[in-house]
Structure 1
Amino acid sequence: MTTLPDRRLNAYRPDLAEEALRGTVPAERYVTGTPARIAAPVAALRPRPDLAAGIDTEVLFGETVRVLDRADGWAWVKSDFDGYVGYVAETALDAGGGAATHRVAVPRTFAYTGADLRTPAAFALSIGSRLTVIGESETRGTRYLTLEGGQSVVAGHCLDIGATAGNDYVGVAARFLETPYLWGGRSGFGLDCSALVQLSMMMVGRTAPRDSDMQAAGLGRPIDRADLQRGDLVFWKGHVAIMEDDKTILHANGHTMSVAREGLDAAIERIGWLYQQPTGYRRP
């Protein structure tokens, strides 16, 4: 029996597939897609073009995608960041402008209509959002970056596009404490367990797959529970947590509906009755 590629990371339908899959999956035609950029603060990526469909993941302001198809107000896209495939509203896209020069480095911030915190906020931005800055100014001692759309963002909330937020991804993860849990969420406004891992690693220049099963299968190497230390990962079926130290975890979870800190032993006992024991431990 032929095993088809993972649909989360491979774009194919009976009528259309990405060019890279030619010879691997059957389709009426194959396309390379056209580049586009996310113009909404956060864009939901869905498994089908239907607002009633659950969210698989999200793409952030300024991230780029390849558009494989457009129809009925939806775009079928593949993320350039992690390769995830799905449908976004066409209104969330633009054709792109200048190259990104900066990235939001705090969990949440605002893009203001002017270079002054007293001006109205045009929209909110999540950590990881990619910005194209065309200028800067200072108002009452606060420096602002001017975006190509004319809005202004506090400079102290941003990093140059090539810079990282240090090298401790666990410290980044701790900044999300009390952020609401959102199934499929991948932003500072709401996120799920595997997005907490992926976003935190992204901010320190490391890469991680999007979903917990992908992370459990190939992120780092397996270790024994007795060897757990800060930065290691604990996996259950459908869930992942980050070790803050050898006894404490950080995780976005449906129990508190937030990113929370919890003792590992207590979490294993609490989770066990419904999801059984951890399936593995890894050092990324």
Structure 2
Amino acid sequence: MKIRIGKGIVPLRRVPGDGECIDEGLYGMEAEILECRDRWIRIRMFYGYEGWIPKEDAVPLERCGGREEDWRMVKAAFADIKRRPNVQAETLLWVPRGSWLEVCGVCEDWLTVRLAGGTCGYVPGVCIQTVPAEALRETGKKYGKLQETELRQRLVETACSYFGAPYRWGGKTPLGIDCSGLAQMTYLLNGIIIYRDAKLAPGYPMRQIPRERKQPGDLLYFPGHVAVYLGNQRYLHATAAADRYCVTVNSLDPCEEDYRENLADSLTAVGSIF
């Protein structure tokens, strides 16, 4: 049975209950139910990751309605969905970057969106991407005809939009994000599905390349850690280091003040989709 995530942020648990959060489902994202156990369901997200969520946080796909091509991703850090197209109107729901919304109309600078259950609300058009989210679910590859240079620049800009976000194990929103969540969202928001964990995996477009060929937007892999390469020996990552505990920038250059020797010495692979 297919479902969509029915709340702004839903933790995916390794086991049913209040245990470890291994990922987060964001509003409107599609998943498939694999197993039911009391009030919990085990789901497989559209990008292949599995975990447990409460039944009440899932909405059956048939209740969502609309055409596949009407779904769009949120690109703003957060988007308030209003009862009327007015900033002073009641907020029906807020959703984080990466959520999916069904767009069903335009009202000047606002978009009309249909929520689970049929309620309609309004969100500023500038908060929403123009490319259908269905391209991700169906292909898992980049959409559009971006040149490599432009796509690399967009990947870097997307990663940097999370700069300063606090570290959160299993997280992938500006409220809190982990290293692989940062890498995944950097690519997801640009139309590319990569593996959710901090390692290269078969069946995804990320492949290993020689270290000396790394370019901006590529990924740096360390034991249990991953970072987005910015160029000039600098990289952006979500770190739980006691002196940062956030998304920050460090260097592979030992001459730089923000050099991280422990990471520079343990780089295991460079990944690229190009």
Q: What's the TM-score bracket when you normalise by the shorter of the two chains?
A: 0.7 to 0.9
Displacement of 1:105 in angstroms is 1.4
Unaligned 5+ segments in structure 1 are: 1-33
State the SS of the aligned residue for 2:51: strand
Letter in 2 for 1:146: V
Correspondence 1:65 to 2:65? no
2:174 to 154, 175, 188: 188
- CA-to-aligned-CA distance 1:140-159 (integer Å, 9 cap, x gap): xx424333422221111102
Partner of 1:155: 125
Which amino acid is 1:130 matched to? W
1:119 pairs with 2:119: no
Partners of 2:191 and 2:3 in 1: how far apart? 23
Query: CA 1:181 to 1:246, structure 2 compared with 1: closer, same or farther past 3 Å?
Result: same
Sequence identity of aligned pairs in percent?
23
Deviations 1:65-114 (A, max 9, x none): 1112223211111112x111110011111113124422211222212232
1:86 alignment counterpart:
51
Q: TM-score, normalised by structure 2?
A: 0.80
Given that 1:216 and 1:235 are in contact with CA atoms closer than 8 Å, whether structure 2 keeps it comes out as no
Aligned counterparts of 1:217 and 1:282: Cα–Cα separation in 2:
14
Counterpart contact for 2:200–2:208, Cα < 8 Å: no
Structure 1 stretches of 4+ with a deviation exceeding 6 A read: 163-166
Distance 1:197 1:216, change over 3 A: farther
| Cα drift, residue 177 of structure 1 | 0.7
Mapped to 2, the partners of 1:282 and 1:133 lie a distance apart of: 35
Work out whether residues 234 and 249 of structure 2, in 8 Å CA contact, stay in contact via their aligned partners in 1: yes
Moved more, 173-182 or 104-113: 104-113
| Cα distance between partner residues in 2 of 1:237 and 1:92 | 33
Distance in 1 between the 2:173 and 2:31 partners? 17
1:222 pairs, out of 209, 226, 232, with 209
Farther off after superposition, 173-182 or 101-110: 101-110
Quick one: distance in 2 between partners of 1:112 and 1:267? Answer: 45
CA contact (8 A) 2:164 2:246 kept: yes
Which residue does 1:240 correspond to in 2?
226
Change (3 A) 1:92 1:118: same
8 Å Cα contact 2:200/2:207 also seen in 1: no
Kept in 2, the 8 Å contact 1:77–1:87? The answer is yes
| TM-score, scaled relative to structure 1 | 0.77
What is the one-letter code of the residue matched to 1:280?
A
Residue matched to 1:282: 271
In the alignment, the residues of structure 1 paired with residue 74 and residue 269 of structure 2 have an alpha-carbon distance, to the nearest angstrom, of 33
Residues 102 and 281 from structure 1, CA distance in 2 versus in 1: closer, same or farther, beyond 3 angstroms?
closer
Q: Does 1:268 align with 2:260?
A: yes
CA distance in 1, matches of 2:201, 2:86: 42
- 1:258 maps to a residue whose letter is C
Aligned-partner SS, 1:151: strand
Rg larger in structure:
1
Report the counterpart of residue 172 of structure 1 in structure 2: 158
The CA deviation string for residues 231-251 of structure 1, in whole angstroms up to 9 with x for no partner, is 222211100111111221111
Distance 1:217 1:38, change over 3 A: closer
From the superposition, tell whether residues 230 and 193 of structure 1 become closer, same or farther in structure 2 (CA, over 3 Å).
same
Paired with 2:201 and 2:160, the residues of 1 have a C-alpha distance of 19
Query: Unaligned stretches of 5+ in structure 2?
Result: 133-142
SS at match of 1:131: strand
SS at match of 1:78: strand
1:213-254 CA-partner distances (Å, limit 9, x unpaired): 245997222212x43331222211100111111221111111
One-letter code of the match for 2:45? S
- Render the CA deviation track for 1:122-168: whole Å, top value 9, x for unaligned: 23212221111222324xxx424333422221111102343779722
The amino acid across from 1:278 in the alignment is L
Is residue 35 of structure 2 the alignment partner of residue 55 of structure 1?
no
RMSD between aligned alpha carbons?
A: 2.4
The answer on whether the counterparts of 2:110 and 2:122 sit within 8 Å (CA) in structure 1 is: no
One-letter amino acid of the structure 2 residue matched with residue 56 of structure 1 = I
Change (3 A) 1:65 1:217: closer
On the 8 A contact 1:135/1:147 being kept in 2, the answer is no
